[in-house]
Chain A
Amino acid sequence: MQELSEKRDDIEEALSTARERGAQFADIRLESSDGTSISAKDGITKINSSNELGAGIRAFLEGAWGFAYTTQVDRRGMTDCAQRAVSLAKAVYERAEKFSIEVPAFEDTVKTTVQRLPTQVPIADKLGYVLQQEREAKQTDKRVSSTEIGYGDIVLHKIIANSEGTYVDETVVRSIARAMVFAKEGALRQSGYKAKGDSRGFELFLDGADIGRTAATQAVSLLDAKPAPSGQFDAVLDPSLSGVFAHEAFGHAAEADAIISGTSILAGKLTQKIGSDAVTIIDDPSLRSYGYMAYDDEGIQTRRKVLLERGILQTYLTDVETGSRLGLGSNGSARAQRYDAPPIVRMSNTFFEPGDYAFDELLEGFSGIYFIGWQYGYTTPTTGMLTFKSREAYAVERGELRDHLRDAALSAMTLEVLHNINAIARTLSFDPGTCGKGGQMTPNTTGGAYMRVSDVVVGGM
């Protein structure tokens, strides 16, 4: 790991150069990271060691941003980079929408405390965990035909500083493992998936919990599943799917850049009742989970944000620019994939507040489809039309689980779902994931509890 702490003078030199050259505001993110990723596909291992060092610099001028980055992180390299960022902003600012920004300053040093720092764990231990998950998956059932176990960790040290006096030194640690397992019987193939991830070190994998066996069990059980019916049904979503709804359908629409660019269904709806009383949705980067960060990538201290409270839209996710333009201030929602990309408005750990139902109570008298696990899904931002593909599902008749279903997709309109959620269970659980936006990937958590929704369209084969 490269030492960054001695760079303060160089950083401040680069920032003053940007101001002297005409930037009204400038900031810098200097990052150094060490990571390991391992994949095992049917016993064949690939180990990838990743080390990054670089800085990204932004310059702001009357509503336009210039962004440049460099891997040469000495005084000369960062100063040159700052000058390039200013030149970029100057080249285009006359054609920009004019606005000013307000940037609160923070000075702090934060380190994620972990029990077993990944950079100090022998690679043989990490590999041992991966191969053990693979063995567990293979031993689950004779019909398990192929396994793919992935492991990743990162120790990321960054310094975020700006021309308003912010100087934040933050170290984040993250670990994740994923199991994808295929099962086969005759010509029929099915897959199962399980992941665990957190802002923790290698201790995350020492609790005996198993992802290989869980994924394998799902794949095998789906061999007997039937294709899903199609039509309009009431639905129960498991915590994975309700978490994805909170993130994908609601959360992206609550990102303030979408509000400003006119591409969100939530524009103009602050303080309005847009969901049922059962619905409260939160984004909380300060929560120690896979999407954790104490400060965002603009150096703003993060906090728990209640976006939707008992159906009433309370706020949007904002960064410095959007918070200034909407008069809300930044609530610490700026994130960048790496030093070579500019921060944009993003979620972190996004979840439904649990309700007070037991799972059995949700199913009492219920007829419809019970969806489990998330394969993928997406929404059309301007209309709020969404589709989610589940990993498995059950047809339910008057509270009794009937046919086991595969590849069941549900589609609905986001604002209708928010009104149609009529019960949420009391146990909250989280899933780690990766979110893509504007070509940038970030680690995120989605969370929720079992949840009942009326009237969704189910598509099967």
Chain B
Amino acid sequence: MTTHTEREATLLEVCTRALALVDTSIYQGEAFATHSNSVSAELEKGKIKSSQSGFESGIGIRIFKDGSMGYAHASLERVEFAVDQAIAAARAGSPDRDFKSLPPAERYPVVSGTWDNTIASLDVSTVAQLAIDVADASRIDERIDIINSGALVGWWSGAIANTFGVSGTDSGTQAALDIDVIAHKGEASGNGFEYAASRRFDFDVDSVGIAAGEMALRSVNPQPIASGKMPVVLDPLAVGSIIAAAVTVSAEDAQRDRSFLTGKIGEHIAVSEFTIVDDGLLSGGLETSPFDAEGVPSQRTPLVERGVLRSYLYDSYTANKEGTTSTGNASRGDFRQPPSISPTNLVIASGAEANVIEDVRHGIYIRATGDRPNTSTGEFSGMVYAGYAIEDGELEHALQQTNIGIDVLDLLQQIDGISSEVKTYFSLTTPTVRIRDVSVASSG
């Protein structure tokens, strides 16, 4: 069996071979190759439905000619073909004077907690058992009658190289669990869900299942509430879709003047208790790696520090355009896509409150919304996908057809409670956050 270090060496060798085909007197070039494996299982109504396994490898080639970018990908057997295609594409496009150069070679930091040997040796029966165990754990009450769940483990190795000497390799593991539960009480039904993802095979399966079960029971028989202005408490999941999505601004949007935070670096945009950091080095983080998708060393970047907007997210192109340095936020889904800017791991600082709900006399708790802020206007309006009324400091009935609307800059100034406890959902670690005064519209 090949080890991941051996695989990294093979991939790097393929990248080097690809770049040898690039005439560096005319072009700049980058090669990115990966090999990935996954095993997953899916449960439908508590019974196994399917299992899957896949492995694939491939290479993505990025070529620049006078700033015009061409990209192509192919399997590792067709490297020459991919290089030819990327060169042809770069030659066809328009020059870009703002493009200076691909990143130079640098030393990479050491990261920890990103590889778990257990994951790379799991078979499909073990993965299927995980999906069954989480389903069993969610049966906390006889009203819970429909359970769909899934489990997935994956491991991959990757290599990157460019014509300026960048050369790096990395490997990682990941395990993920999801569960969706429906509770029935007579005609009424309620939906509960939970997710967990980790670099290690270390889930607390019971607590994931129980959380989904409890949420389903709590969600039975949703009701509207009276419309008006009231305090809103955001669950960590909702903090991600509303606050984190609004304040992580790509330098590309800022430079194109398409963000409501354009030109606001150094300004107080939030209450001084609010701090959010993009941390590509976070131990065990799902997005942690020694370098980003174009081989720039990963780093820790404060985005909002004690209420002050400190930074946008940069890749090497946007950094060069502004004469600053990349924050290491180039990222890509797989070898099929060229890099684009996105956050790594986001961490919002915890606060002082043991319970952010207990002082709310009349308000709502938002567990999840499918909406995102309009990042060009800074306005947020959206539906409460899952949420509850708060009365006298207690969670009450689930909400039906309830919408909220607020300007994000107002929202950030109206944060008046941050929990001391934090929760991690995928690559976001955040406390629960209370907003003082939000307009809530419901059909009631």
| A340 with B441: CB separation less than 8 A | no
Chain B residues with CB under 8 Å of A50's CB are: 72-73, 336
Q: Cα distance A290–B347 when bound, in Å?
A: 41
Does the CB pair A190–B68 fall under 8 Å?
Answer: no
**B57 — which chain A residues lie within 8 A by C-beta?**
71
Complex interface residues of chain B between 163 and 184 (CB less than 8 A to chain A): 180, 182
Residues from chain B with Cβ under 8 Å of A68 in the complex: 52-54
What are the residues of chain A within 8 A of B41 when measuring CB–CB? Answer: 92
Stretch at the interface among A268-276, A278-286, A408-416: A408-416
Asked, given contacts A46-B71, A48-B338, whether A380 binds B132 with beta carbons under 8 Å apart, the answer is no
Cβ–Cβ contact A262 & B51, under 8 A:
no
The docked-state distance in angstroms from the alpha carbon of A234 to that of B92 is: 51
- Write out, one digit per residue, whether chain B residues 68-101 have a CB within 8 A of any chain A CB (1) or not (0): 1111111100100110011011101110101000
CA–CA, A414 to B293, complex, Å?
42
Is B232's CB within 8 Å of the partner chain A? no
Kindly specify which of B21-29, B282-290, B357-365, B376-384 makes contact with the partner chain: B376-384
- Rounded to whole Å, the gap between the CB of A46 and the closest CB of chain B is 5
Partner pick for A127 among B48, B56, B93, CB 8 A cutoff: B93
Q: Choose from A43, A54, A232 the contact partner of B94 (Cβ within 8 Å).
A: A43
CB neighbours (8 Å) of B148 from chain A are 261, 263
Q: Are A66 and B257 in contact (CB under 8 A)?
A: no
Q: How many residues of A contact B (CB 8 A)?
A: 72
Extra contacts besides A146-B257, A382-B190 (11): CB < 8 Å? A40-B94, A45-B93, A68-B54, A95-B48, A127-B93, A184-B257, A227-B379, A381-B191, A383-B400, A385-B401, A387-B382
- Measured in the bound complex, the distance between the Cα atoms of B128 and A135 in whole Å is 54
User: What is the CA–CA distance of A146 and B257 in the complex, to the nearest angstrom?
Assistant: 8
The answer to whether B376 touches A407 (Cβ under 8 A) is no
Assembly CA distance A47 to B145 (angstroms): 50
Q: Which of B105-113, B298-306, B402-410, B416-424 contacts A (4 or more CB under 8 A)?
A: B402-410
| A154-196 interface with B by 8 A CB criterion | 182, 184, 188-191
Interface on B for A, CB 8 Å cutoff? 41, 44-45, 47-54, 56-58, 67-75, 78, 81-82, 85-86, 88-90, 92-94, 96, 98, 123-125, 128, 132, 145-146, 148, 180, 182, 189-191, 222, 227, 252, 256-258, 260, 336-338, 370-372, 374, 376-377, 379, 381-383, 385-386, 400-401, 403-407, 439, 441-443
| B132 nearest CB neighbor, chain A only | A95
What residues of chain B lie closer than 8 Å to A206, measured between beta carbons?
Answer: none
A127–B92 touching, CB < 8 Å:
yes
Q: Does A41 contact B (CB under 8 A)?
A: yes
- Knowing A230-B441, A459-B403, say if A96 contacts B52 (CB, 8 Å): no
**Which residues of chain A come closer than 8 Å to B146, judged between CB atoms?**
261-263
* Selected A-B contacts with CB under 8 Å, 15 pairs: A40-B94, A46-B69, A88-B53, A91-B123, A96-B47, A145-B257, A182-B376, A231-B441, A260-B44, A342-B50, A380-B385, A385-B383, A413-B401, A457-B442, A461-B406
Residue in contact with A66 in the complex, picked from B51, B72, B92, B227, CB distance below 8 Å: B51
**A263-B406 in contact given A92-B41, A96-B49, A387-B383 (Cβ < 8 Å):** no
The verdict on A131 contacting B94 (CB below 8 Å), with A64-B49, A95-B47, A411-B383 known, is yes
Contacts of B404 in A (CB 8 A): 459
B403 touches A457 (CB 8 A): yes
Q: Which residues of A contact B44 (CB under 8 A)?
A: 97, 260-261
Quick one: closest A residue to B63, CB to CB?
A: A47
